[in-house]
Structure 1
Amino acid sequence: MSDDLEILLTNDDGIDSTGIRALYDALSERANVTVVAPADDRSACGRSLSHEVEVDERELGYAVHGTPADCVVAGLAELGPVPDLVVAGCNKGANLGEYVLGRSGTISAAVEAAFFDVPAIATSMYVPAAGTSLAETDLTAADYAEATRVTSYLAEHALGAGVFDHAAYLNVNVPVADGDPAPIEITRPSKRYEMDAERNGAHVTLKDRVWEDMNPESLPDPEGTDRRAVVEGRISVSPLTAPHSTNGHEALDALAETYLETVRSTDR
């Protein structure tokens, strides 16, 4: 990684999180890193955008009282030098499957960068809960070693290799560091979706049942998907595009052609 490489680093766990500090320490060894990150935890906020945000200068960089998308817009348009790459993470918890792409603040930061035509890497770490909630799981900088290693590798090599000629951003999910480096598998987001809801009086509890079965022996996600790769101990790298492409079809074309005729006859 060249010292001339400019990286804008953000996240959705907040500027004080262990994951962003671990990435900053690793990336800044070989690149100029500007941190523009939320002042507090903004997990699962998607691409929510504010019209105006307050900004504080912290020891690590700029703390924005807003969302990850706010951070990317403010960082790219005003607060930092024009970067070669945006890196979002490292998120405490995995971001796996098609259905999380629009929910995750980490991934949304990468998507926001793509609209600026700046390539991006979103890095998240799968943390097996083992009966405890993710929030109650304490992680050290050493736990993020796998995440920092692969993100540094991709930041150093992906631009020159032409990866971003074909992908707007990379969604990277890694297992917790455990000795030797894990291999990379190029994956596609899993299509599995198992949201549910239960009502209790005036309250409705939303439940994501996908996470209830992460046992490698019974995991229903097929080979080649991001979730299977990570659960089986490999690093998942999904090359993704933004904006989303359209999917035209003759049936929809026919509806468009008959629209005016239909509504005019109905209004008579």
Structure 2
Amino acid sequence: MKWQGRRGSSNIEDRRRMGGGGAAIGGAGGVGVLAIVLIGYFLGVDLTPLLNGGAGGTIQSGPVEITEADEQAAQFAKVTLADTEEVWAGIFRDQLGQEYQPTTLVLFKGAVQSGCGGASAQTGPFYCPADQRVYLDTDFFLLMDRQLGAGGDFAAAYVVAHEVGHHVQDLLGILSEAQRGRQQGADSAAVRVELQADCFAGVWAYFAQNQLGTLEQGDIEEALNAAERIGDDTLQREAGQAVRPDSFTHGTSEQRERWFYIGFRSGDIGQCDTFRATTL
């Protein structure tokens, strides 16, 4: 991905030097139900017990060191965010007849307090509908490479684009509709939300290639590999657990790859309606 020396977004809130400061994780009463689900299983950290009124806890964080890798990750995230802003502004204008309102990307190290409650680096990147912000620990890209086997700059870009996809869903009222569906007993609502965000990330990649010209050979393969490595079934197997489809929150590896590619192949958000799809 061609990103060095390019414009970065100004919609950045850098909290890395603030540390976690003992961020509290409250029960579901203080946090939106869907917000907990969205934060959930990205790295095998299952927060769904909080939906049953689990007790609160505290995330502690020690001194924060900002490394050269952190700085590079931050610059990369800023450029990627700027690209999503340009692409989604055009999609909202041309496909929806609306004005796109960008999200803010919060960079943190170790732990953070969000409008959806406290979270740690182990939670993985997440979008919080309560404050309409994306949260990213700048160590995460290194973790993707070394622990998940999902290296490459476009794999990292896919992760940012996926979380921005949740913001797009929020702006379009999809998240609130999905939350109502879950409350009415639609168990697949969370998975459909996540797979649509994967598809939206693919739509962004389509325009990044055809409009911005920033993709390089092998980039799409990096994104597809990342989607494969963070499928619920793969994460459960890698953790030495039995694969339990009833516990899935993001979809299988095959589903995540396929929905990303649907978006990338079409460049049309209309093709990303996972909620009406009979087969995920």
- TM-score, normalised relative to structure 1: 0.31
> By percentage of residues, which structure has more helix?
2
**Structure with the larger RCO, 1 or 2 (CA within 8 Å, 6+ apart):** 2
Higher strand share goes to which structure?
1
Q: TM-score, normalised by structure 2?
A: 0.30
